[in-house]
Amino acid sequence: MRNTGIIRIGIGGWGFAPWRGTFYPKGLSQAQELGFASRHLTAIEINGTFYGAQQPASYRRWHDDTPADFLFSLKGPRFVTHRGELATAGPSIDNFFGRGVLELRDKLGPIVWQLAPTKQFDRDGMAAFLALLPKAIDGRPIRHVIEARHKSFAAPEFAELLRQHAVAVARVDDAHHPAFDEVTADFFYLRLRRCQEDEPTGYPAEALDRWAERARGWAAAGRDVFLYFINGAKVRAPAAAQALIARLG
């Protein structure tokens, strides 16, 4: 690990109508929104990859429209994660990575595999799935994150499997899904889902201060941090991300 980790703060996606006139300046064309967002944030989580395949040309355009030090996280496709047997996902995983993902080049961040809320922990099935996730492609390291949403995953065996494969567990700030505090990889991945519309910065100042302190501590220990404001009062997500970036200097 490096002596100090890198902290990335962002939002989910960039094409959200209520951000026009709030986050995006009035008159900004939709074609310019990614360029604008990527110069006010340090990362974006792409959710469209969860619902369907993207074109290689799209990945190339996203790469070219953003600054050199920007990163994208991608949600893995639901055709992989929302199936009865995760051990059978190999061909779908290969198809996902073979459809242009690597066109993001040095801007490719972690891949988030969000499991169905009804998916329960099965040790053998999860072990088989983790073994299918590529650690590198064409010499490029690939980081992976599991977002488990069923309480049965709050088991020591789950965390131990993740450690064996150096896969992170998503830490979700949400009242409806289990919280995980285990350290299982050389980076942390957070999805904050409690933005409030009556808070101009989404989260109260004290809460943002606490998240900033935690992120600094993780980075000081040599671990990278990826933190996204997702859902809740989504209209406030860009303001929350910018406020946290300002706190981190």
Q: How far is CA 187 from CA 87, 179, 183, 218, in A?
A: 25, 17, 8, 8
Q: Does the structure show a pLDDT above 80 at 2?
A: no
Instruction: Say whether pLDDT at 181 is over 70.
Output: yes
Mean pLDDT of 146-151: 96
pLDDT at 176 over 90: no
What number does CATH give the domain 7-248? 3.20.20.410
* 1 has a pLDDT exceeding 60: no
Sheet strands (E) in 37-132: 43-46, 71-75, 108-114
Q: How confident is the model at residue 88 (pLDDT cuts 50, 70, 90)?
A: very high
Cβ atoms of 239 and 198 closer than 8 Å: no
CA-CA distance, 228 to 205, in Å (whole number)? Answer: 17
**Residue for token pair 């051990």:** 87
107-119: average pLDDT = 97
Q: Which residues contact 150 (CB under 8 A, 6 or more apart)?
A: 115, 117, 118, 119, 120, 121, 178
Chain mean pLDDT for the chain? 96
Measured in degrees and rounded to the nearest 5, phi and psi for residue 145 equal: -135, 135
pLDDT, tens digit, for every residue of 228-245?
999 899 999 999 999 999
Average confidence (pLDDT) over 94-103? 96
Q: What DSSP letter does each residue of 20-49 carry, written as one string?
A: BTTTBPTT--GGGHHHHHTTTSSEEEE-HH
Question: What are the percentages of helix, strand and coil residues in the chain, rounded to 5?
Answer: 40, 20, 40
Average pLDDT of span 78-97: 96
DSSP secondary structure letter of residue 169: E
| Both structure tokens of 201 | 């910065």
Q: What is the pLDDT of residues 215-224, one digit of tens each?
A: 999 999 999 9
